[in-house]
Amino acid sequence: MNKISFLFLMALGLMSLSSSCNKNINNPEPQEGVCNTKDPLKDLPWLKSRIDSSTNSSDVLEIYSYDFQGNKIFSITIITGKSPGYQTYNGGYYNCEGNRICEFSSAFTVINTCSKSLTDKLTTKKLIYRK
């Protein structure tokens, strides 16, 4: 083996060794999926319960996941009525534990407790359920 090949292999070995030492074992990489599960619709009891309770309803249920400052949150919206001018919307944003962050509604009186600072920071909107 010539000197250049030997030096190249040594450098490559040192780079791989140093990169493996940079991993912090106290801060493991986050798990794949939403809220540390690959299937939040089945694995998060509070979310599964919302879906199960809507199966016999004629209302539309939409669930979206979002990224918000490094965390996942959900919007859950119930749409009542078939005609666009006569539909009402009731919903809110929830964290992974199912705690409501804020709510919104267009039924009878408009309610919106969601701050613009929250909604402006939502990214990666993904529809995960619609019935």
Q: What is the domain range of residue 46?
A: 40-130
- How far, in Å, CA of 30 to CA of 32, rounded? 7
Is residue 56 domain-resident? yes
Residue 36: what pLDDT? 87
Q: What is the mean pLDDT of the segment spanning 21-34?
A: 41
**2 pLDDT higher than 60:** no
Which pLDDT does position 58 carry in this prediction?
Answer: 87
- Provide the edge-to-edge strand list for the sheet that holds 123-130: 111-112, 100-105, 88-94, 71-80, 60-68, 123-130
Evaluate whether residue 22 is within a structural domain. no
Q: Kindly state the greatest CA–CA separation across the chain.
A: 82
Looking at the domain assignment, is residue 88 inside a domain?
A: yes
C-alpha to C-alpha distance for 79 and 66, rounded to whole angstroms: 19
Contact yes or no for 79/59 (Cβ under 8 A): yes
Q: For residue 21, is it within any domain?
A: no
Residue 112 lies in a domain: yes
| pLDDT top residue among 11 and 124 | 124
Q: What is the pLDDT of residue 9?
A: 36
pLDDT classification of 24: cutoffs 50, 70, 90: very low
Asked whether 105 and 90 are in contact (CB, 8 A), the reply is yes
More confident residue, 85 or 69: 69
CA distance 111 to 76: 15
Domain count, the chain: 1
Is residue 13 pLDDT above 90, yes or no?
Answer: no
pTM, 2 dp: 0.69
Q: Is residue 31 part of a domain?
A: no
d(CA 22, CA 69): 25
In a domain, 79, yes or no: yes
**Is 11 domain-assigned?**
no
